[in-house]
Each structure stands twice: as C-alpha cells, then as structure tokens.
Chain A
C-alpha cells in the first residue's frame, strides 16, 4: 500500500464522516423552536451544506477523489458556518470567530489545493483531510443534534439527560470518532515519516489553527464540557495528535521556507549579477553540502567544470541531471542526502542560470584553448628568432669577422696607394656586422634572456633617442616568465620609438608589483597614441592585459599580469 493510497483512504473515510455528521443535522436546532425559532438563513445554509457534502462524497468515491471534489466539501463547511454560529451557549461573537476561522481555513485550503497543488494529489489529499478534521472537531464541539433539546440551558450539568439520545446515534458518533482517530494516527505517521516541504508548510499552519480553535472552544464552553463524555473525550485525541505531529514537522518546514527564500535570492542575485560563487556556491550554502559541483556534458565523452576545465565524475557522489527541453544541460554532483532539497531548488530560473553557466564554461574552455594556442604561436616565433640568431652567429657573423680580419691583414701589407680601398672594405664589413646585430637583437636582445628585463631596459635606454628613466621594485633575484619579459621589452621598444617619432622628449618605465599584479608602466610625453596592436597581442599571449591612457601631455601604457 503506497503512501498516496493511505492518504486517499483517510480522505475517503473523513469525507464520509463529515457527510454523515452533516446529514444528522438536517432540520436540527440546538434549543428547539420554543427557545429560538429556526431562521430561514439557518435552514438554507444547512440544506446547501448538506447537498454539497453529499455531492463531495459522491465525487470523492466515484471520481477517485480529485482535489476539486474534496474542496467542494469544504465549501459546504464554509457555508454551514453561519448556521452553526447562530446557536449555542458560548457568547455569539466568540462562536462566530471560531467557526468562521475554521471554515475560512478549510475554504482557503481547498482553493490552495485546487490552484497550486492540483497536480500533486497525495499532498492535496493529506492537506484536505487535515482540514476536514478541523471542521469535524468544530461540529462535535458546538453541536450535538441528538442532545435532549429541551434540557438547555442546563442539560450540560445533568448527564442523565444525555441518555435520551438514541443508541444508534451514540454508536454512529463512536464509529466516526474511531475513524477520525485512525486517520489522524495515519496522518501523523505520514507527516513524521515523509517531510516534503511543500505540504508540511500547509499542514503546519493548519495545526496551529486547529490547536487554537480547540483551545478557544474548550475554554468558552465549560457548560458543554466534553471531558464528562467518554465518547467526546476521544475526539480530542485527533487534533492533539495532529498538533504534536505537525509541530514536529515545523522544523523542516522552516528550513524549506528558508531554502526557497535563498533560491529566490539566488535567482535575483544571478539575474542582477551579484553572484560571487556562482550557482554551485549558492547551492552549497542552501543544501549545506560542500560537495555540490556542476559538470557540463560535452558532445564527446567527458565533462567540463564551471571554469571550463576538463573534469570527471566522482563515483562517490550522487549525480542529478538538469534537463531543459529534453536536453541534459548539466549534472549536479552532491551527497545522496541532498537529493530532496536539491530537486526543490532546481526551479526554472535556476535552470536557466545553470544553462548560462554551461555556455560560460564552454566559452571559457574555448578561450583557454585559444590562449594556449596564441601563446604557443608567440613562443614558437620567439624560438625561431633565437635559432635564427644562433645560426647567424655561427654562420654569417663569423664569416664576416673572418673577412674583416683578412682584409685587415691584407691592408697591413698593402702599398699605401691600395690601403684606402681595404679600409673602405673593412668599414663595409663592420657596417654589415652592425646591421646584422641590430636586426637580430632589436626585439629579442640576448641580455633580456640572460640578465633579465631590467638590465635589458637599461641597455635599451643607452641607445634610446630620448632620455628614459627606469624604476623597478622587483624583488632581487626574481624574474618574471620569459614570455612576459619579452612582451614588456617589446612594449618599451615600441613606445620609445613611437614617442621619439612623435616628438616626445622623455619616457619613464616602471616595473614592479601593484595591487598584487606584476605591472609595467611605460609613460612618454607628447601627444597621439602609437599603435600597440603587436605588443598588445604579445602581452595577451603572455597572459596579461594592456591599457592605454592618453592625457593632455603624455601617453601611458600599463601592462599587467596576474
């Protein structure tokens, strides 16, 4: 027997009890015509309520109790409220408040069930059954149609008068009470064992209301005390049981409420861009599960994590798939205990944000690959250049040197008339050597590679066409990665050359740490920017970024690296 069948049985039994009880009140009047003639309002209400209750019972039994049918029963209870309130011994205002409160609650729950939980029949059944119990309790406490009518207002003090009730009525009441108790026990067990946040919220509110109504009526009617009647004493048990069970269930309810709030906040944060830890971070907080992690399935086998790096499933953890339009958007890894709450948090809004994270992860993965390939291209180009330099050193440079040396020896022994020609040839050789050196060393001087950026910049300053001031606060012995050094050196060369061409009179270079990042600032005076595209690419390839600020009198280039 599944849980939903249990609940369905409970609803059926309770609805039947309500209907029976209501049938017994047809044409009833607590004090009889001698004391308080029945009004038209009372009669209409009573008949209408009875009709609705019969209808509800019929639909509940025949139509497999869809929530709407049971809801109709509560509409009936709401309608009967004025009739019930018009009689009794407690002050009228108090009875009106108590009965209207109970009926309104029942009505609200019926509506709530129809509108919100219509699709989840088990939840609806349980909620409605609880509401039925409240209504039933109200009836039992306020009215007993088989009480000796003429004994009022003193029959409460004389138990003998109660014996005038027909035996079958007492039996029917006992059966009703027994059914109610059974149902209540079942409901209480259900509540304690399954704690789904949605219906616990509903029933918790109900429990408080039931307890309140019971307390009020008990306090207000000492004359009709139920404590004296063993039959009616039993009827106290259900609401008490329910109250305890529901209060027990309140804690997860509060937790679930907080979860929903956090999820809503999560959605808002993500929508407004306030999220720091991403969806996974929020879910870790909400579910109190540090192992929560998103994996995004790739077209090929394998997964990406939120940072766009390749990742593998952790077999120790449970995985829940998030789908959108039938497509798996993501896999959430979590502890097995988090499953229930997790499902509650995966609202459509969260799913959309998760999908965004997936797109972001894919973009990041692609970006990583592009960055790596850009870095490789630049590194390969630099290596090619270094190899070229080495080849030139081993080849052309040596031969030019040798040529110059031989020319010099020839010049030494040549007749004076010939000597000038040798001197010219030697000069050309020297020029060729100089040009070769400039060509090879301009962008990647060996000093950069061997002695570091600052030494290379100082050497650059020696031949720069404008004064260059160099400041550095790099820790002694610490050198940035060679790729970064090359990129920064290239930037300095470009800015100084470009600045000199545009009439700059000086340049300043700072290399050091600023706000946790390796930063190089190259400033020159004069106007107009130079085109730093090539350097920007190199800086980007080395993992940094370049910002150019053009002020009135100078241009500042700031390159920074993590």
Chain B
C-alpha cells in the first residue's frame, strides 16, 4: 500500500511516517501543506492520502476541504483525515463533502500503532472509517425519550460498528457471527430507527451519524 502524509508539524509528520514504515506501509512522500497535495498525488499515485485537518494558511479545516477536492478529483485515492477535534460536526462535514472512502480519526490514534494501519487497510478496501470515540459520543448522548431503547444490546453493538464505517462482512468478523446474521441485524436496526436501509457503506454511516446526532 502506498500513502502520502501531509502534516505541517514536522515532528508528528516524521513520527507518523516512521510508524507506517515500521508496519510495512510504503510512504511515497510527506509534505507540510495542503497546497502541495495535488502535485504529490499526481506524481506518486498513492492508495491513501493522510491529511492533518488543521494546516496553514488559516489553521482551521484546510484538511477537510483538501479531502473533498481530492476525493472528487481522484475516486481511486482514499483520504484519511487526522484531527485533533473530537467534534462530530467535522466528521459529518467530511462525510457530506467527500464521497466514499474517507476516514476521520483522532490524531491521538497515532499512539495506537495498529489503529492507524487498520484504518488505512479498511479505506483501501473501500470502507469508511469514523473514530470510535466519536461514535460513542453520539451513541452515548443523553436523550429525553431514547429511540435506542428499543434496540437489543447486540443491535446496539452492530449500530456502533455500522457508524464506525465497517462493512457487514467486517462486522461479522468482528463479532464472530456470519454475515447473514449481521445483515438481519442491520435491517432490524434501520427499521426500528426509521432509516432507509442501504448497502452503500458511506451513505449508511452518514445517515446513522446524522440521526444519532440530531434526534431528541
């Protein structure tokens, strides 16, 4: 797998590059600003681009914008945004603006060596990646009348994994059940929440996160 790392903080960028190389990921290039992304991508044709969300010139959400542009321009290249923001709002914005094969991970995850490489692998396989902390935030939100009360513990588990962007097959592997069972669970969950069932991973992540964030 070939990746490009874009982060304006040199030390962190070098750290990420080293971890990835330790795990056998080929880092084709590393750069410090979002402006150089397009040239690098054209030159190296990576499978995944890792972007820091916060970069010059405004130090706000350049990463999100670069991700959206990149995804629109190159459907074959996945994008993983590393963010120091725990806000679901950013993850949702990324999902809305960048179609498919995008990931939103907390930057803290670089301390967990396998999480980062797992995410890259999943993106490469066409899944969507949403940081579990964000999923547990929206799932754990206090609700006046919980619409989630009607779900069984197993269905809740499935819902969380769906929100994290796992495919049915990945969920099945994670839970140690067969894919059929997962399919029936997801159908049940979507029915109970009044959401439209979709096989498109990206679309169902967006639907679930939006629902969990806004419902009362």
Contacts and interface: CB of A to CB of B under 8 A. Distances in A.
A406 B15 contact: yes
Contact of A451 (B22, B93, B108, B142): B93
B11 A467 contact: no
| Majority secondary structure, A binding face | helix
A469 interface: yes
Interface residues of B, number: 36
Interface in A427-464: 429-430, 433, 437, 445-447, 449-451, 455-456, 458-459, 461-464
Interface string B32-69: 00000000000000000000001000011100000000
Contacts of B19: 405, 408-409
B110 A405 contact: yes
A467 B88 contact: no
A147 interface: no
A450 B60 contact: yes
A75 interface: no
Contacts of A393: 54, 59, 84
A408 to B, nearest CB: 5
Given A390-B59, A462-B138, A466-B142, A404 B9 contact: no
A319 B47 CA distance: 79
Contact of A446 (B22, B85, B216): B85
A143 interface: no
A447 B86 CA distance: 10
A412 interface: yes
Given A393-B54, A469-B144, A462 B110 contact: no
Interface string A502-514: 0000100000000
A459 B84 CA distance: 15
Contact of A408 (B86, B90, B112, B143): B112
Given A406-B15, A409-B19, A447 B89 contact: yes
Report, as a range, how many residues of chain A touch the other chain: 35 or more
B96 to A, nearest CB: 12
Nearest to A447: B87
Chain B CB within 10 A, most for which of A405, A409, A467: A405
A394 B9 contact: yes
Interface string A400-417: 011011111100100000
B141 A462 contact: yes
A399 interface: yes
Nearest to B140: A462
Contacts of B138: 462
A467 B144 contact: yes
B213 interface: yes
A405 B18 CA distance: 10
Given A446-B60, A455-B89, A404 B110 contact: yes
B107 interface: yes
Given A401-B107, A409-B19, A451-B93, A445 B142 contact: no
Nearest to A405: B15
Given A430-B108, A462-B138, A465-B142, A409 B113 contact: yes
Nearest to A433: B108
B12 interface: yes
A398 interface: yes
A494 B146 CA distance: 25
Interface string B116-146: 0000000000000000000001101111100
Nearest to B9: A398
B15 A402 contact: yes
Contacts of A450: 60-61
A426 interface: yes
B15 A467 contact: no
A397 interface: yes
B73 interface: no
Nearest to B85: A446
Given A450-B61, A469-B144, A401 B12 contact: yes
Nearest to B215: A469
A408 B111 contact: yes
Contacts of A461: 141
A516 B92 CA distance: 32
A404 B216 contact: no
Nearest to A392: B84
Contact of A462 (B88, B90, B93, B108): B88
Chain A CB within 10 A, most for which of B15, B59, B60: B15
B84 A437 contact: yes
A465 B141 CA distance: 8
Contacts of A459: 87-89
The 7 closest A-B pairs by CB, nearest first: A404-B111, A455-B89, A467-B142, A467-B144, A447-B87, A405-B15, A459-B87
Given A405-B16, A409-B18, 13 more contacts: A390-B59, A398-B12, A401-B12, A402-B12, A404-B111, A405-B111, A430-B108, A437-B86, A446-B85, A447-B87, A451-B89, A458-B214, A464-B141
14 contacts: A401-B107, A401-B111, A402-B11, A402-B15, A404-B108, A409-B22, A433-B108, A445-B87, A447-B89, A449-B60, A462-B88, A467-B142, A467-B143, A469-B144
